[in-house]
Structure 1
């Protein structure tokens, strides 16, 4: 005895998403005709209609749910599908700014893993949503805490299009280790993810080498008409070490004995006694720093038992911060 496996939930959802606008456009239709035009069987269509009974507006009360005349579909009925309490389906959908942003972000996330055919459909949908947002159809998109995510998603799509077209991009990029904004032209190769962030994997013309750029640190990206000059390549795997090394600078601190606890509390790359001092004396330590402001705060906490030896810009910034702090007491 053979059994037919139950349809997958996602297949049924796809059928329902097709069924609702189909019924709305036709009003009433015989179940056999609907099954033929929808590419399913009358039996399966009746099962889907029974699920449709549990769909509707938020709340879940009887007046909120779509009503289907199931008696007409039972044996002895006329076999005509009649759907009521679904007048809201005739109203154009208007999204709030938060809803529109959520849909755009979700579609962009889906686009990154979609195949060519699906991506084409997603692009058309995204274009309509963005056009509506630009012309006030859904209002100005201002989703509050999700705004940064929406901006990154929009940027990811633009950069991915530049990758697919083989066009160079001019970036204004914030470098936290130097606390400055740099302008550079890159050959984009892939938009990828690592350690919970989205990155542009590109060849940087200024550095003359491959670089990773965190999308949330890109202040502006202009897609140029100039074709990329490097050979296209797939995006790289992003283990922690690759990102950490690129986005950080090795700083050297001189620690008095009172600040030696830093070695036990923070991951350091190397330690050296100062001028042949005894093992419990002053140390020089190398540690990786991704944000100059973090190092400045650390040195101020350790004062007067620590100083920055290198690089020079970190030394200057920490000295300036110390002087400014002392000036508050005068």
Structure 2
């Protein structure tokens, strides 16, 4: 069974209990809760309408009364309760919950730990509460972002941009929380940049929920260009770097683009940067593993910082300063 069909089957099997618990819910609200489009939900309801117990007579099929305004379950055909998790499914769910609970902004940590405790209790087959675990304290800025998303309100962020090495303040219209390369981000429409941007949670220094609705363009959520964290901004200067062969790993850790490889195994690469001062500090941290080819102003910035460091070492009387 394909993953898509498996996901749909799981959704269909749990949809009847969900709808019984939310009588009269609108299609839009149900679709939002179930993580599908309204069109997909209506298709699922039509599929359910043709399902039921063996015999498949009119009295055996699931009976629904539904429109986009209201959904009612008339006859559940024995599907009043969701399916029980198998031990494998429960274990997989626990692993997933424990993973995302450590990611800021992904879930409410208190609710996640309650869910973990209930699943562990169900797996053990006892009603005894699980041992009390320390629930991570959620940073105030993270809690504010999650609240603004739930309220569909705009946010004022104080944000540290690592690539520009600066802190800025901006107004954003939050769209959703996403996970990219093991880091959690707020995807939002940035009014200053007039585009969709990703804001890494651990770099949001302050967040203030504004008393105004979020006003992201209707097509902003479909804009996946923001997920390319290493997109090439041609407005920024390009550093030309030479990486020693044993420093090829740097290409995987930083937004660099390979330009050419030399016979000795070294690699020439390019990397955009906004601040020469920040870039110089980054490059000096690699020691002799990464050298600067250009542009000249960046070469000068790296040389000046290296000379200043050597003078500081010499002034401190540290051995090896002269030979360095």
- TM-score w.r.t. structure 2 length? 0.43
- TM-score w.r.t. structure 1 length? 0.42
